[in-house]
A and B are shown apart, each in its own frame.
Chain A
């Protein structure tokens, strides 16, 4: 069992739907991350929150909207996604947003866009 919890584990949605992915950690970490991972590829960084503030946005399309309500929670709001957005979405956390800290990953949400 991981200490970073992601829900749901699987999500199937149409291109016109709106849904949200949720991530929660109780390790007292102050940095949280969203990654997208396609099959047989490494994780691609999407967003970084440090002390509840967005510190990195890797030029992600606006159909992905992150939110960090508090230091333990991270959401990713999805709207009007495309079939190529089908992937494993990973949440991770680290001690703080400084470089050099190991990241701890959740189990991921496997997203399929119809």
Chain B
């Protein structure tokens, strides 16, 4: 079992729909959770981070964390073609000098 698992996709949604990206992790000691967006041929870009159970909203993006169930998700409302990218989930223990464990990423395609 991988430490951080994501559906590889591709996930395809129509423009204007809600895209839901999921991530599960195995280390119960994980305390910090990050979502990065990576366009093809580009570097990862931080989208959201969340530390506490519940929802955190930033514009069209909402991160949801459930530590008891060991999952974190990213919702993208009103999806746009420009949201088409690979989304990486990263998890951190807070005690390991900044070392984050990345999932393999989910590729999202938003169709016009």
Contacts and interface: CB of A to CB of B under 8 A. Distances in A.
Does B bind A?
A: yes
Interface of A: 2, 31, 33, 41-43, 45, 48, 50, 55-56, 88, 90, 94, 96-108
Interface of B: 31-32, 34, 36, 42-46, 49, 51, 88, 92-100, 102-105
14 contacts: A41-B104, A42-B88, A56-B97, A56-B99, A88-B43, A96-B98, A97-B97, A99-B92, A99-B94, A102-B34, A102-B49, A103-B98, A105-B43, A105-B46
A56 B92 CA distance: 14
A90 B43 contact: yes
Q: Give the interface SS of chain A, mostly helix, strand, loop or mixed.
A: loop
A101 B102 contact: no
Contact of B102 (A43, A50, A100): A43
B97 A103 contact: no
A45 B92 CA distance: 13
A100 B32 contact: yes
Contact of B98 (A41, A50, A104, A108): A50
Given A42-B103, A42-B105, A56-B99, A99 B93 contact: yes
B98 A94 contact: yes
